Structure 1
Amino acid sequence: MGFFWDTKFHVESCCSDSPTPSSSPLWASIVSILNSHSIKITGKTLGFLNPLLYQMAKECPNCLKDITVGNNKCTSTICTNQCKGFQAACGWDPVTGLGSPNIGNILKYITKLLEKNKTTITQRKIYLNFTELTSDLREYFSNPSANLTEKLFPWIYYSPNNRTVNDFKGEKNSKGIVICTGNEHFGVALVAIKALEIIENELPIEVIYSTSSDLSQENQDILRKNYPNIRLIDLSTMSFNDNYLKLRGWEIKSYAVLASQFEQVLLIDADVLFFEKPSILFQHELYIQTGSLFFHDRPIITKGHIHWIESFSIQSNRTYPQRTQESGVVLIDKSRLFFGLLAICKLNDYHERHRITYEHLYGDKDTWWIGLHMMNLSYSFVPTMTAGIGQIGKKKKQTIICGHLLHYDEQKTLLWWNGGILKNRSQNKRDLLNIEAWNVEGQWRIGIYSCLSNNEQQPRKFTSRQQQLLNSYHRITTEVFHI
């Protein structure tokens, strides 16, 4: 089949002295592209094209027209015989009688057609055996072939803009903050962004989401209008094929680090607030040594967790952390831990997370250190346990602090906490927490409001600077949530 562009092109093309067969370069290229995409998605070619062409002409009259009849009839006096025979240069197919006034319309139609059938993108390798996954990841580490890329990372291999794995290493020597948010957490994300201004953060910021159903166009516009220096990244259109990943929750975080244009990434949850400038974390000795910095959570690592991890740890005699990980703040240097980050992403891939990873772990949390462990890469935890921040209360003559999880460094410098100023953002976004004090870990009682008791340490008051920050964070929270 040839293509009929417009009257001028049609007449000039018909006058060609060199007849062109139906496999003209233009049409052959189009068919090749369509069949290539069809093979990637369905495993087979489009097959005999006439039924597709008739359907296209029916559904999209601006794509194809019958140029043998009516106003579309080929009227050239120079090449009438060529039209009645077949020359691709004449721009029509004698079998169907169809020609195209605009190739762009055809491409749009085909794109929509493939989108309708995107659910067929399920023919892929699903790793239910993590020993095999570890083996393939390590082989990819030493020999990143195209076959292994397609097998392990189809969401990159079939990305909507044909990017490659190496495109995600970030701008050399760049550092920045990444915040993932959707509509549900948009309010606390706005508080976090305003709080970063208050603490005089100097690092650039990216806000990352996946599809406009995750973060609405209205909320995107709010960010662009009020924070023009913040870079917004939609993973589904900028980087990864959402048909494979369906990123809507915890799992988005590792992919956000991968997609970030920063080489060194400070990932923070949308409800994280800081007592110190976030940039000081990049100066931590352990981060400088290993290229990662993690924080502990409250639960311990159980023997069951260890047994599961050991079941797919190949040639690894390393020790394990005693606590689970808190992933509210994560530092990763992609220049040193890139292949480990890919392993972390794989643990959070759609089928792997639903069928294996999240059956053993609480969301993405421990996938960060486990992914690096799988690749025999170094990682580091700040060598402190947790603390509590919140309101002072009494429980059976014990002084307790009810509120949120707080993190500090080896010098007892308060760094950050998650949960913000709200008592419980999932319960009530108008109920504010009266933050009066903090204390190092003792015994936790986890509930709607988590409470910490410590028989050996009395609650500690904040410095004047810390109290000023708390007052400012309280103010912007009331402004954002109209309290």
Structure 2
Amino acid sequence: MQVFSFMSSSRRIQCLRIIIALGIFSTLVSVSRYQGSLEFSIDEDGQVQSVPEPVPEPEVYRTHHIATYNPEDIKPWTKEDAAALLTPEGQKIVQALTESPFKPPELLHQNNPHLLKDDYFSTLTKRLRVYRALWYELKGYYDELVATGKQEQLYEAPPSDIAPSLEFLQRIEQVTFPWIWKHHGTSYDLHRKLQNGGRGIVICVGDHHFRYARTSVKALREVLKSTLPIEIYYTGESDLSPENRAWFESFDDVRTIDITKVVDNDMVALKGWAIKPFALLLSRFSEAILLDSEAYFLSPPEVLFEDPGYKEVGTVFFYDRSLFPGAGGNKRAWMQRFLPTMSNHPPKTQWFNLRGDHEMESGVVAIDKMRHFLGLLAICKLNDLYEREQVTYVMTWGDKEAFWIALEMIQERYSFNRFRAGVIGNVGDAIPYNDDLPQEEVDRYLAGEILTETNPINREGKQTHRDSVNMDRVCGNQVHYDYKGRPLWWNTGVVRNKYIYKSPYLRYTAYMNDEDGFWDFDNSCLVQKHSNANKELEWDQRQTAFKILKADRDVVVEINNPSYMILELPRLVKSDGAKGGRGNSEAV
């Protein structure tokens, strides 16, 4: 490499121009915020949504919040960038983006060699954006090697014009995604392996959650008649017993996979929430639905692949509840510290508007892995060992916010269904579920003597009183909606309180939207803000929910474990609904 002092004046000027042309590295000094330079539309909730012009499907920008970036903020890799890598200044930037993320030992108080630098997430954002530009620029060369069966020679003697860029890409992969290499070679190899993988469902299960996942799989196959293949991921032999694995694999097209056999787990030490994005990435599917073990659908999950937001940008994300405003510090300031530019979506969030501490619910995530392969790598990175322990899980609740924040970092568009999570269950809180309630009160509930306002008649046709009923609320599980506002799936189990041994099944007669109520978080209820906030679940969905309860009861009987109580199924009567079985048309 030549040194400036030996260059001619014209050569120096040329070199300086190359350095100035390093557009991809401008993120190192950029502090701009995307204010929306595109066309505007107004969401039904009054929020401004900037949209690309022309709009391919105008309605999708009313039913979804689509993260849209200023095109000027997306920096492609250029020939000038490649040339600048040969300069001393260019090499300094390469070094800055690929050096160790950990503080040097002399700056550590407790001699911890794995304490991340204070500005690490800022560096990680810049690294991910450069990696994205490099990856797409060099993919053509990889494809040429594939055509001749020489893809394993990717980093061996590349053409001189791309050699510096390819070396830079390799260094970024080494420092960012080293856990890929043990089983998959380069990221290009993994991406190629996932092509033509079809669609499927991914569930992460250990013995602790086996009972819930067993109900979920049974409901998917026997109630909803879903034909999507299912992959069950677990972490090592001690996580999911051979007997439980065999039960899952007794169903058609259901496989169990030890994730420690497909990723270098010595590096990432997967456990808990962190398993989910890695399972999603490493599953064989090209398009996948990530499903929590205790999430249950009211319609076949295949409908997510037809969601307009999914078709537009390749994701369906669901919002969480409006909870804990101001908790966890100033998340807006935190994001602005490491995102030099961002899409138009963060200003819509609870965080930026100080209305809540939870944005996304990751109990169900639908993603097109071919469109978001690099985004999935970034999501996994935020769930990597040191990232999750020192930043992601400290600033957020588990894995969930990592999905959209990682896509902001690497600049990939994403879609949120615009409805926030609500509650599905029963009108009023007449369900006895506390440990200190006498058994006779539980028996009265199961016998239909503790009732909702719309059905004051018990099984024997006698008028009864409404003990313990607060008719201003809906209590039960957390519900999420399709893009039209119709309940689509719920999570947190099938009983009033899964942590209480004798807690009975919910009846699933009603639901309430987040915006229509105040949260009674401790009791999992929404208390109405106005009359008619309680909505009746449509009869077909009530029947589906009842069949899922039957599936759950069958599972408990099959398991035959004294620690699992065999519950009595609730009545399925049309007149028990929130509106006396008359139905409603509140869905958008």
Normalising by structure 2, report the TM-score. 0.57
Pairing 1:355–2:390 present: yes
Residues 58-457 of structure 1 aligned to structure 2 (within 5 Å): 129-144=120-135, 145-157=169-181, 159=182, 161-169=183-191, 170-172=194-196, 174-197=198-221, 198-224=223-249, 226-237=250-261, 239-299=262-322, 304-316=330-342, 318-320=344-346, 321-323=348-350, 324-393=359-428, 398-428=471-501, 431-441=504-514, 442-447=517-522, 449-456=523-530, 457=532
Q: Which blocks of at least 5 consecutive residues in structure 2 are unaligned? A: 1-111, 136-168, 351-358, 430-467, 558-565, 567-588
Larger radius of gyration: 1
For residue 426 of structure 2, give the secondary structure of its aligned residue in structure 1. strand
Give the number of aligned pairs: 357
CA contact (8 A) 1:274 1:416 kept: yes
Q: Is the 8 A contact 1:194 1:476 kept in 2?
A: yes
Against the structure 1 CA distance between its residues 411 and 165, is the aligned structure 2 distance closer, same or farther, given a 3 Å change threshold? same
CA separation of 1:428 and 1:140: change in aligned 2, threshold 3 A: farther
User: Does the CA-based 8 Å contact 1:181-1:208 persist in structure 2?
Assistant: yes
Q: Which residue pairs with 2:576 in the alignment?
A: none
| Match 2:542 to one of 464, 467, 474 | 467
TM-score (norm 1): 0.69
Change (3 A) 1:481 1:164: farther
Higher share in strand = 1
Q: Which amino acid aligns with 1:454?
A: Q
Given that 1:168 and 1:258 are in contact with CA atoms closer than 8 Å, whether structure 2 keeps it comes out as no
Q: Does the Cα contact within 8 Å between 1:383 and 1:410 map onto a contact in 2?
A: yes
- Displacement of 1:455 after TM fit? 3.3
Structure 2 distance, partners of 1:439, 1:214, is 37
Per-residue CA deviations over 1:363-422 (Å, capped at 9, x if unaligned) read: 011110000010111111001122211122258965211111111134222211112313
Aligned partner letter, 1:210: T
Structure 1's 125 and 235: CA in aligned 2 closer, same or farther, altered over 3 A?
Answer: farther
> Take 1:314 and 1:429, find their aligned partners in 2: how far apart are those partners?
52
SS in 2 for 1:172: coil
- Rounded to whole Å, the distance in 2 between the matches of 1:458 and 1:246 is 45
Q: CA deviation at 1:322?
A: 1.8
Check the 8 A contact 1:398/1:455 in 2, yes or no: no
Matching residue's letter, 2:175: K
Per-residue deviation, 1:189: 0.2
Deviations 1:217-246 (A, max 9, x none): 22112222x224212221101x21111112
The 1-side partners of 2:305 and 2:399 are apart by 22
What CA RMSD, in Å, does the superposition of the two structures yield over aligned residues?
Answer: 2.3
User: 1:167 offset after TM fit, Å?
Assistant: 4.0
- What letter is aligned with 2:527? S
What is the rounded CA distance, in whole Å, between the counterparts of 1:360 and 1:376 in structure 2? 21
How far apart are the structure 2 equivalents of 1:359 and 1:262?
Answer: 31
CA distance in 2, matches of 1:263, 1:194: 24
Could you list the per-position Cα deviations for residues 85-122 of structure 1 after superposition, in whole angstroms to 9, with x for gaps in the alignment? xxxxxxxxxxxxxxxxxxxxxxxxxxxxxxxxxxxxx9
Q: What's 1:35 paired with?
A: none
- Displacement of 1:359: 0.9
Once residues 245 and 466 of structure 1 are traced to their aligned partners in structure 2, the CA distance between those partners, rounded to angstroms, is: 41
8 A contact 2:307–2:483 mirrored in 1:
no
Offset of 1:436 from its aligned partner?
Answer: 2.9
In the TM superposition, what is the alpha-carbon distance from 1:351 to its structure 2 partner? 0.8
Instruction: Verify the 8 A CA contact 2:424 2:477 in the aligned structure 1.
Output: yes
